Amino acid sequence: MKGRSALPRVLPWLILIGSCATLSGCGGSSPTGSKALEPSAAQIERSEEAAQKQQEAAELNKERELLSTIEAKKQEEVAEAKAKKIEAEATKKAKKKEAAATKKAKQKEKTAEANAKKIEDAAKAEAKKLLETAQKDTNAEEAQSNSATGSGQPSSEGQ
């Protein structure tokens, strides 16, 4: 990287030195001397262009890598956000399902308690009915035994 950044700084100096050498004549007015320098200037220009293209290609590669990194981070963030959203929805759904199950269990418990109370009340009513029937039977028997003895007073059995 240091070599690439030094070339643009050194290149103007090389051009300046080359142009000074052509202006000074480099040993006379021979036409072969200036023609020899012209290919050198063209070579310098070509090497300058090649160096610039190489630098631009390096910068382009750097920018592509940076863009790729940014896109990967963005995709990762989107995936994380999507995962969080899905997790939140699943949690919400699970809580809703749990609440529904709890409500259903409470309803079943309430229904079972109501049925148990009905059965208990029915059993109490049946027991009361049987007790009343037994008491009526006992009273009827006592009344019959009293009328059979003719005393009209309760018998001495109960005393």
Q: Tell me the pLDDT tens digit for each residue of 70-129.
A: 999 999 999 999 999 999 999 999 999 999 999 999 999 999 999 999 999 999 999 999
pLDDT in tens, 4-47: 566 667 677 777 776 665 555 555 455 555 555 566 888 888 99
Tell me if 29 is assigned to some domain: yes
Tell me if 140 is assigned to some domain: no
Tell me the CA distances in angstroms from 12 to 36, 49, 79, 86, 158, one per residue in order.
20, 13, 51, 61, 142
Tell me if 121 is assigned to some domain: no
pLDDT in tens, 87-98: 999 999 999 999
End-to-end CA distance of the chain: 128
Q: What's the pTM value of the predicted model, to 2 decimals?
A: 0.42
Q: Which secondary-structure segment (H or E) carries 158?
A: none
Tell me if 113 is assigned to some domain: no
